[in-house]
Amino acid sequence: MEIKVIGAGCDSCGALYDHTLEAVKRLGLDVKVEKVDDLVEIVKLGVMQVPALMVDGKVVAAGQVLSVDKVCKLLK
């Protein structure tokens, strides 16, 4: 599983990153969570709203800070 948290470094993006790390920990997943904050890379990924959560190359949430529980549901 490949997980990316995409955002330009704002507080909301940081919160989604932290929530994603906590969800991975709760679920006991052995995966790396990558933080993508380079604007060129964000555009290449096709993300139009940040923060965004991408799992295995697919944007599963954009434009919102998901709770830890919601991230857990998406990763199951």
Architecture per CATH, domain 3-75, reads as: 3-Layer(aba) Sandwich (3.40)
Single out the residue of 26, 13, 11 nearest to residue 53, CA to CA.
13
Spatial distance between the Cα atoms of 8 and 50, rounded to a whole number of angstroms:
7
pLDDT value, residue 38? 94
Residues near 6 by beta carbon (within 8 Å), at least 6 away in sequence? 13, 36, 37, 42, 45, 47, 50, 51, 52, 53, 54
Low-confidence ranges of the chain (pLDDT < 50): none
pLDDT value, residue 9? 85
